A and B are shown apart, each in its own frame.
Chain A
């Protein structure tokens, strides 16, 4: 059964490629149109080993179910259909009870709370029709306050084993929380878990801010703020809540990102009418100018190996995507379709570039190969902008703004295949998402 599911996934991901290569123009994938039948899974409520863990056990089960369900790849069989209501990890399940309700995978779990207050989650994953266990059982422990993270990690194990993909649930998103009227929007930098939980605010809202970007280790954030009256890039340490500028005295700085090794910041600096791309070495404070055209060169993003940079420029007369060496030098244009291209982001897998495309009065989030071939538009609306990749390169998050005086921004996620478009729950409006790497221990 598991083999069959792998095959289906391969077909979906492979088929999209094939179609893209056949068509001469950009392909418009219709969103929300299910291409595959989600895999039916049974996730009976995790069993509490002690009274103290009862509530936590159902909360943890809910988080796991939500993570898996949000991928669009799995369908939860309702608990009312279960013949056996509870399954722990201590015994092999009665497979016939799960075969009869057509569950293909069964997830069994226990939750316990130790005398030190630490929470332990045990999980085993079963192939129901193969009557066999998928991988080894896992046992993860954490403090009771941190229970959501352990739930995400368990869901990551399940996701990876059932799809063959790298995990991504145990990750965070830094974004801009928006409130107030469109003419004087109040914007605050905020961090949340990728599923929208645990929102915490990094800035207070007195200064206009935008486009936050995580450091590779997730411990600090770069963003642009008007705190000094003019846009400047700030590096904000999340643990100490201290921030500093990049030390540029003239002109505005914006569009920052870290290099993949975290040692450099790449950003745009505007001098008069001219915007170019620079890097700052954080240890030596050495500043290097990478572009010299009189055009707007901005929104730089490193390849995951740190060797190349994709950015946008209007040096050819309109906003298009270019790739250059990480040390600067000649840039090669990679976008050639009709319309304007901006906000390129290199996939963590290295094989794709996500971007915003503006054409015929609509905005799209799309992906293309790093040489510009295979362009696919994944979304369409009045304003879709600013994609960011999930840590495993399988999902994109971006923001969508509705038109008019009451227009508001929301975070939206979509599979790299264009399937499974979902709004991410945030308190109030939200824009400029940036996905962290998978959290480390």
Chain B
């Protein structure tokens, strides 16, 4: 997971570097992806406006410590990348889904999920993303993505997922 995020961040850094010299027009219509930059084959082109790109290259989720809604440095880095992407594709709206692990009572975890969604929301607002593009919802402990009952899975479930409109939520 960590390796994947590093690769994604590197890919994004490449694409952002490219972005600074690109025409404004290119931003909205999609460009050659950072993934393909090294290989150069046109068939490797990645639509950077795509939901797949957002999910895998930008990173669609941030993680939290137990019972916490504080954004770690890693979470802030991911949200910075999300904010950059959202500025490049200003027609995209999003929902921030807050989640908790299974180690808590139902009502508390629902409220905790709301805190986590709000933490990401506030951070993105501070990065200049318009509140009118964003909504939040909490799922508490109702929708885990990892199903084992130990910290490996719980750490993956304590999350806020940025779901771009039109994407399938998780």
| A312: Cβ under 8 A from any B Cβ | yes
B137 touches A183 (CB 8 A): no
Minimum Cβ distance to chain B for residue A149 (Å): 31
Contact residues in B for A356 (Cβ distance below 8 Å): 105
Minimum Cβ distance to chain B for residue A341 (Å): 9
Minimum Cβ distance to chain A for residue B10 (Å): 30
| B145: Cβ under 8 A from any A Cβ | yes
B144 touches A273 (CB 8 A): no
**Which one of B107, B119, B147 lies within 8 Å of A298 (CB-CB)?**
B107
Minimum Cβ distance to chain A for residue B46 (Å): 28
| A127: Cβ under 8 A from any B Cβ | no
Closest to B118 in A: A273
Closest to B69 in A: A273
| B81: Cβ under 8 A from any A Cβ | no
| B114: Cβ under 8 A from any A Cβ | yes
| A316: Cβ under 8 A from any B Cβ | no
Contact residues in A for B139 (Cβ distance below 8 Å): 208
**Which one of B104, B107, B143, B144 lies within 8 Å of A254 (CB-CB)?**
B107
Contact residues in A for B92 (Cβ distance below 8 Å): none
**Which one of A183, A268, A401 lies within 8 Å of B111 (CB-CB)?**
A268
8 A Cβ contacts from A335-392 to B: 340, 342-343, 356, 358, 361, 382-383, 385-386
A386 touches B111 (CB 8 A): no
| B48: Cβ under 8 A from any A Cβ | no
Contact residues in A for B121 (Cβ distance below 8 Å): 272
Contact residues in B for A440 (Cβ distance below 8 Å): none
A270 touches B107 (CB 8 A): no
How far does the alpha carbon of A275 sit from the alpha carbon of B67 in the complex, in Å?
Answer: 15
Minimum Cβ distance to chain A for residue B104 (Å): 7
A404 touches B105 (CB 8 A): no
| B164: Cβ under 8 A from any A Cβ | no
| A231: Cβ under 8 A from any B Cβ | yes
A270 touches B149 (CB 8 A): no
A358 touches B104 (CB 8 A): yes
How far does the alpha carbon of A319 sit from the alpha carbon of B121 in the complex, in Å?
Answer: 24
**Which one of B67, B104, B145, B149 lies within 8 Å of A183 (CB-CB)?**
B145
Contact residues in B for A183 (Cβ distance below 8 Å): 143-145, 147
A296 touches B112 (CB 8 A): yes
Question: Given A208-B142, A382-B149, do A299 and B107 touch, yes or no (CB 8 Å)?
Answer: yes
B114 touches A270 (CB 8 A): yes
Interface size of A as a range: 35 or more
| A210: Cβ under 8 A from any B Cβ | yes
A184 touches B143 (CB 8 A): yes
| A229: Cβ under 8 A from any B Cβ | yes
Interface size of B as a range: 20 to 34
| A263: Cβ under 8 A from any B Cβ | no
Minimum Cβ distance to chain A for residue B126 (Å): 14
A319 touches B108 (CB 8 A): yes
| Bitwise interface map of B from 101 to 117 toward A, beta carbon under 8 Å scored 1, else 0 | 01111111011101100
| A219: Cβ under 8 A from any B Cβ | no
8 A Cβ contacts from A35-49 to B: none
Closest to B147 in A: A405
| A432: Cβ under 8 A from any B Cβ | yes
B105 touches A273 (CB 8 A): no
| A155: Cβ under 8 A from any B Cβ | no
How far does the alpha carbon of A268 sit from the alpha carbon of B147 in the complex, in Å?
Answer: 28
How far does the alpha carbon of A252 sit from the alpha carbon of B148 in the complex, in Å?
Answer: 29
8 A Cβ contacts from B83-127 to A: 102-108, 110-112, 114-115, 118-119, 121
Minimum Cβ distance to chain A for residue B64 (Å): 13
Question: Given A183-B144, A183-B147, A252-B138, do A273 and B119 touch, yes or no (CB 8 Å)?
Answer: yes
B149 touches A358 (CB 8 A): no
8 A Cβ contacts from A298-323 to B: 298-299, 312, 314, 318-319
| Bitwise interface map of A from 268 to 282 toward B, beta carbon under 8 Å scored 1, else 0 | 101011010000000
How far does the alpha carbon of A185 sit from the alpha carbon of B143 in the complex, in Å?
Answer: 8
How far does the alpha carbon of A185 sit from the alpha carbon of B144 in the complex, in Å?
Answer: 10
Contact residues in A for B104 (Cβ distance below 8 Å): 319, 340, 342, 358
**Which one of B102, B103, B138 lies within 8 Å of A270 (CB-CB)?**
B138
How far does the alpha carbon of A182 sit from the alpha carbon of B157 in the complex, in Å?
Answer: 12
Contact residues in B for A382 (Cβ distance below 8 Å): 149
Question: Given A183-B143, A273-B115, do A255 and B107 touch, yes or no (CB 8 Å)?
Answer: yes
Q: A182-B144, A254-B107 are in contact. List 6 more A-B contacts (CB 8 A).
A: A252-B138, A270-B111, A298-B110, A299-B105, A343-B106, A401-B102
Q: List 8 A-B contacts (CB under 8 A).
A: A183-B145, A298-B108, A299-B105, A299-B108, A342-B108, A358-B105, A385-B106, A407-B149
Residues on B facing A (Cβ under 8 Å)? 67, 69, 102-108, 110-112, 114-115, 118-119, 121, 137-139, 142-145, 147-149
Chain A to chain B: the 5 pairs with minimum beta-carbon distance, closest first: A403-B149, A405-B147, A342-B105, A273-B118, A275-B111
Residues on A facing B (Cβ under 8 Å)? 181-185, 208, 210-211, 229-231, 252, 254-255, 268, 270, 272-273, 275, 296, 298-299, 312, 314, 318-319, 340, 342-343, 356, 358, 361, 382-383, 385-386, 401, 403-405, 407, 432
